[in-house]
Amino acid sequence: MAEVAQPVDAEIKYLIPTSRINRRFWAPGAEYNTGEYQPYPVKIHNARLAAEPFSLDTHGFALRKHVTTVTDFMDNEAINTVYAQEVADIARDWTGADLVIPMGGQVRSSGLTGQKVQPPAGEAHVDFTPKTAETVAKIIYEKAVPDGPGYDRFIMFSLWRALSPAPQDWPLALCDFRSMDENEGTPNTKVDVDEIPEGDALFAPIPGEEDMVAASIFYHNPNHVWWYYPDMTRDEVIFIKFYDSDHSRAWRAAHTAFHDTSHSDAVERESIEFRAIAYFSKE
């Protein structure tokens, strides 16, 4: 399939400055953001045609070939065992980490969703705030290896893989770390529910909300430079940094799904993201 040489004209949703209560309610098969967002026109560049190769420590994301042995990504047992081990092996090889602890996978679809399938995330975000990342990484490490040597660096990340054939209708856009400001980002609290609440219940006070797991969401920044890998296959994976505790390197990459209208034959996107944490042991 021919690659697209010109940037794709698209829209990306950003938080608007007047948005006050920012929560993401998560229920099986549905997600709802209380934040107020607005679509902004952007140009999304073809990462396959970039002048330089992408790297985790410069851009915050990168792509590699990887053939998985998993054939059914709706099989939770296979995801939590076979695929979790594959992700750990990839991450250790890619980063040089000493230990990788899985956090779990999520299948997403721009078509039908359900108990095991969520819709694509449709706004510029990073899955964890720095505060959440530091807290969660400490808890997970101490639970998994209570007598371990400790760590002096960790990377919280996702390994993203397309499951549907190309071209996909809602591919993944990734923001070059170098185009982001260090202090950008507003917390978006994750609230797990059985069903999405309605009306005033969406904004009712939640005790301890300031200590709940939260993502980072972003206001529009015209300096952001967006990239995507068109026509992704099942045999490719994108490593996305959510948070690298070493801030001398690219330490995160904002990302989002976007509607690619440049293909009349685009199919519904199905994908899996698998989150994990790569730890670098103290010497």
What mean pLDDT comes out for the span 32-59?
96
Residue 238, pLDDT score: 98
Rg (CA), the chain: 18
What mean pLDDT comes out for the span 247-258?
98
Report DSSP state, residue 55: -
- CB-based contact 33:247 (threshold 8 Å): no
Of the candidates 79, 141, 87, the one whose C-alpha atom is nearest the C-alpha of residue 276 is: 87
Of the candidates 62, 5, 8, 69, the one whose C-alpha atom is nearest the C-alpha of residue 234 is: 69
- In whole angstroms, what separates CA 8 from the centre of its chain? 21
pLDDT in tens, 191-244: 999 999 999 999 999 999 999 999 999 999 999 999 999 999 999 999 999 999
The answer, yes or no, to whether residue 41 has pLDDT greater than 50, is: yes
Of the candidates 185, 176, 265, the one whose C-alpha atom is nearest the C-alpha of residue 228 is: 176
Residue 6 banded pLDDT, cuts 50, 70, 90: confident
Round to whole Å and give the CA distance between 188 and 23: 5
Q: What residue segments make up the domains of the chain, in order of their start?
A: 9-281
CB count in 10 Å sphere of residue 3: 10
Q: Which two tokens stand for residue 173?
A: 């856009």
The answer, yes or no, to whether residue 252 has pLDDT greater than 80, is: yes
Residue type, 135: T
Q: Token pair 């920044």 is at which residue?
A: 221
Could you give the C-alpha distances from 248 to 94, 183, 245, in angstroms and in order?
A: 18, 14, 9
Residue 118 banded pLDDT, cuts 50, 70, 90: very high
The answer, yes or no, to whether residue 19 has pLDDT greater than 70, is: yes
Q: Does an H or E element contain 275, and which?
A: strand 270-281
The answer, yes or no, to whether residue 1 has pLDDT greater than 70, is: no
Residue 110, pLDDT score: 95
Residue type, 69: T
pLDDT in tens, 46-74: 999 999 999 999 999 999 999 999 999 99
CB count in 10 Å sphere of residue 98: 15
Residue 40 banded pLDDT, cuts 50, 70, 90: very high
The answer, yes or no, to whether residue 3 has pLDDT greater than 90, is: no
Helices (H) and strands (E) counted in the chain, each on its own, are 4, 16
pLDDT averaged over every residue in the chain = 95
Instruction: Please spell the DSSP secondary structure of 223-259, one letter per residue.
Output: T--EEE-TT--TTEEEEEEEEES-TTS-----EEE--
Look at the domain 9-281 and name its fold.
Jelly Rolls (2.60.120)
Q: Which two tokens stand for residue 106?
A: 């999520």
Round to whole Å and give the CA distance between 125 and 216: 6
The answer, yes or no, to whether residue 4 has pLDDT greater than 60, is: no
Residue 200, CA atoms < 13 Å, CB-side half-sphere: 0
Residue 5, pLDDT score: 64
Round to whole Å and give the CA distance between 277 and 238: 15
What mean pLDDT comes out for the span 105-125?
93
With a pLDDT cut of 70, the percent of the chain lying above it is 98
Q: Token pair 């948070």 is at which residue?
A: 243
Residue 115, pLDDT score: 84
The answer, yes or no, to whether residue 23 has pLDDT greater than 60, is: yes
